[in-house]
Chain A
Amino acid sequence: MSDALSRRGFFAAFSTPFARKVEAVPQPVARPAAGSAEAKVAVVQGRFCLALTSFCSVCIERCPVPGAMKKERGVPMVVADVCTGCGVCREVCPAPRNAVLMLPRRPSTRRHSV
């Protein structure tokens, strides 16, 4: 899919003034280095997630980073390597007990690239 049709633009438009031009859509900010004070990663707690017993797809729809979330057995999962820790998924989660946890990102032995 062409870049213009990526999921990024749509959700940025949602959270910004209505008639905003597409060029002005902010790109996701670079994430803080792992292990730094602000570095976070999202985790979906399946047992609180509405997708488990009912229907919900809001976090996946609204996550601004392509590939940071995927569905695993119908329930959303965060791909930690891709997640920037922006927290959108937690903000929009409508579950009665918020199903998204923002955890401090610990330097991982597996991800030497960061």
Chain B
Amino acid sequence: MRRVYLEHGGAPGEARIENESRRRFLQGAAGLTLAVYLPGAVGKAAIRTASTSFEPNAFVSIGSDNSVTVFAKHLEMGQGSYTGLATIVAEELDADWAQVRVEGAPADAKRYNNLLWGPAQGTGGSTAIANSWEQLRKAGASARAMLVAAAAQQWKVPADEITVSNGVVAHATSKRRANFGQLAAAAASQTVPAEVALKDPKDFKLVGKHAPRKDSLGKTTGKAIFTQDIHLPGMLTAVVAHPPRFGARVTSFDATKAKAVKGVVAVVQIPTGVAVLAKNTWSAKQGRDALSVEWDEATAFRIGSDEIMTRYRELAKTPGAIARKDGDPDSALAGAAQKIEASFEFPYLAHAAMEPMNCVVRLNKDGTCELWNGEQMHTADQGRVAALFGIAPEKVTIHSLYAGGGFGRRANKDSDYVLEAASIVKASGLNVPVKMVWLREDDMQAGYYRPMFHHSLQAALDAQGNPVAWKHRLVGQSIILGSPFEAFLIKDGIDAVSVEGASTLPYQIPNLLVDLHTPKDIGVPVLWWRSVGSTHTAFSTEIVIDELAVAAKKDPVDFRLGLLSKHPRHAGVLKLAAEKAGWGTPLPAGKPGERRGRGVAVHESFHSFVAEVAEVTVKPDGSFSVDRVVAAVDCGVAVNPDVIKAQVEGSVGFALSAVLYGRITLKEGVVEQSNFHDYQQISISEMPKVEVHIVPSGEKPTGIGEPAVPPLAPAVANAIAAATGKRLRSLPIETELLKA
């Protein structure tokens, strides 16, 4: 049987045909695989010329057409993973960047697991580059060694006299040269080297230099394929009626009107609602809108977000489970010269990726199943879908496509939308592929939000202005509870991601307490949202440290540096951002009536360090603009500096939407927002100028998809405080508070 793989960046309708045996070969072989692309024809698909490929390992394939294909085990959702992963392989392989293409790897817990997650394949926690760095360097270097060995054998020259550069293998004395394609077949019969030498970083030609994105062409011509774009023969599109409240179930439904809609083929009940299957999306949507469904809300969650916050405020009055305790904070507070007390409130946030959740599922006659998805949790989704259909996990093939954003949403801890799509196929019994699409309203109201949080902080200075006490209490739902990560991330009742950034406060303060309440009776599904716990902990901690600096009559940068002697990487980015931003020099004045200010924040998340300096202008009516953000980042070796820069720019804008507008509210359990009119995003006119400076580093590379998000909100709030004297306590920022 042949399978069709949609190729990223290829024209729609274009497909690559692979012989099934190739994958079997791959599965059976630990190291070396010879794979054969067979020509064939399916529909109007364009077929590549037959070629022999050399696949020294699971990550790279070299075709006799001289193409180098890198198999990316991680999702490309905008963060540049395909480009970054390919850069690493191409570097050690000494490939020409132009010959490199990238393809999403299928689900495979053994070959494609995230090395930081154990036997699970998935993307998250800014780990894509961090866990792949050594693995892909070795993959590239092994392939290179085998190409060299093949050339040495063919040319009868010593291997150590052969050079490889820009995709050309050469032997100077004999003047022999060959490209990778010419050597691919011979390389395939070489032994996989047990050990390979990796390059000295000073010889890097791509890492740390400019390697253009691999997805730019497809994404600027409309040819890049997302889940939403899949069309399979006989496929139906499904739109689902979901319950109005979390935890409600279908009692009964009347599909008469829905079935009368032209194009509607079937209406089926599934565990999460009622699905309308139609020949196209518009018919499915109209069918869904014409449905009438009775919901059983006996076990539904019926509480509003205001009431939830009221409960959190009450909880915050009592001690929680201790996440960190140093010294004796209570006595230190009692004896302190100056005290600061503040509480902070954070709303639920929807991810609102530009591509709403969707998934294509096909159950084949031979009992196998295929998913087309912007896949972020490969093996977990594979396992759950397999269980639903009662088949073995390896019978579920995942075609990993680009995702139109994710911000955490596609890494669903319960495989929610993927299972919903599979459930529709199961319930329909129609034996046709189904594309389930969520409309924007479905996506926004389906839950799995960044949890609401309440923080209360007390901090104190001694008579010399040194911080002596810090007490930080957090209240909010656990993301990890009930997820596959529970065993790793919950210890002694503390969900590590609820307190990350708070319990890891880097500042040297002798008496410190961080405690946590984890309410378990809130039925709103919660999930990691780009930078997770740091979305709220960076805000409260960096505002209070700033207030301490002001109370101590010290410069906020110097004050922080004085407390960071054991954290040189925090200090490094802080100094660099301050210097580049002109910290300490006066800001140009605004127009009459405008108040201007500069603020700073520094935060570590996912082992990367980011400091940001924000400049704001506050108008008399309280509205404000963020005019300029200067960021300094230390994420170890900068694999692709331009992608890092882009991620920081994007993170600043993403974080600013949450600062200005982000808020999901519930009224009696019903989500009040539905689309971009009431869950607003910043537009181009609100985007600040962003300058990004990268700290040169020889440390192992760490992620940059998330770490530039957390410092933005506190830097802006501190800048507003500098401009207006008003300290902000909650997000999104209420401009009413800032009226002159």
The answer on A and B forming one complex is no
